[in-house]
């Protein structure tokens, strides 16, 4: 099976480990499971993700306690951690995004329906400045193995940023259950947007750009 080229990893692992994580199926999956795009998140997103992980951990710990008693062991801690981290990975949206590198496909019709739905839920959100589509869709190179690159631009207020984090996590969770490889991140500073590819003209989902494309 020919793998789609994975993005470079910017974690200071030894070169041979980075190569393994970028060129092999198991390595790509493990890298995605391990990092879950955590280093690309805003500080508030990171805090939210850690809090959600703690909640997941507590929930699974209670389940294990119901099944096997309340005694603590290293094996149980490791098992609960692995399950918790895996659930967090699935709900983060990165699982399906990673699977596109391994051949996961989404039909054009399904992707278009999702984009239309996404446009409808993004409009009239006062805590958002915009929601932008990037990547292969705007370049005109989208294929069955493409993911959907979305950047949520929050308002400047604290409440706006918090609501934008919740909204972004909702999109990740929804896309997982819909089977859509959604690579979505929150931007809350102008310099983050400035780092995007200047050659790509993004599609705004909050200002009706889809109608003109």
Rounded to whole angstroms, the Cα distance separating 133 from 152 reads: 9
The answer to the question of residue 123 being in a domain is yes
Asked if 164 and 180 sit in the same domain, the reply is: yes
SS3 letters across 11-52: CCCCHHHHHHHHHCHHHHHHHHHHHCCHHHCCHHHHHHHHHH
Same domain, 68 and 129: no
- Tens digits of residue pLDDT in 130-145: 999 999 888 888 899 9
The reply to whether 6 falls in a domain is no
Rounded to two decimals, the pTM is: 0.88
Domain encompassing residue 51: 15-101
CB 137 within 8 A of CB 146: yes
Looking at the structure of the chain, the number of domains it has is 2
Residues 86 and 129 in one domain: no
Least confident of 8-17, 70-79, 161-170: 8-17
Three-state DSSP class for 131? strand
pLDDT tens-digit map of 90-132: 999 999 999 998 999 999 899 999 999 999 999 889 999 999 9
Task: Decide if 10 is inside a domain.
Answer: no
Share of the chain above pLDDT 90, in %: 61
Distance, CA of 205 to CA of 163 (rounded, Å): 18
Q: pLDDT tens digits, residue range 160-199?
A: 999 999 999 999 999 999 999 999 999 988 788 888 888 8
Residue 135 inside a domain? The answer is: yes
Q: Is residue 84 part of a domain?
A: yes
Residue 45 maps to a domain:
yes
């Amino acid at each position: 099976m020919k793998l789609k080229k994975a993005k470079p990893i910017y974690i200071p692992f030894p070169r041979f480990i980075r190569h393994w994580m970028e060129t092999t199926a198991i390595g790509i999956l493990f890298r995605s499971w391990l990092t879950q795009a955590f280093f690309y998140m805003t500080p508030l997103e990171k805090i939210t993700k850690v809090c959600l992980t703690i909640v997941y951990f507590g929930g699974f710990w209670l389940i294990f306690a119901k099944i096997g008693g309340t005694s603590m062991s290293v094996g149980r801690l490791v098992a609960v951690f692995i399950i918790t981290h895996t659930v967090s990975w699935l709900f983060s949206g990165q699982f399906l995004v990673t699977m596109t590198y391994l051949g996961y496909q989404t039909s054009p019709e399904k992707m278009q329906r999702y984009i239309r739905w996404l446009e409808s839920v993004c409009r009239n959100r006062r805590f958002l400045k915009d929601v932008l589509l990037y990547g292969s869709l705007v370049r005109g190179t989208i294929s069955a193995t493409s993911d959907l690159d979305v950047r949520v631009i929050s308002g400047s207020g604290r409440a706006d940023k918090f609501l934008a984090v919740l909204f972004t996590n909702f999109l990740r969770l929804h896309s997982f259950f819909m089977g859509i490889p959604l690579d979505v991140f929150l931007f809350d500073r102008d310099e983050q947007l400035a780092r995007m590819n200047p050659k790509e003209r993004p599609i705004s989902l909050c200002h009706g750009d889809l109608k003109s494309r």
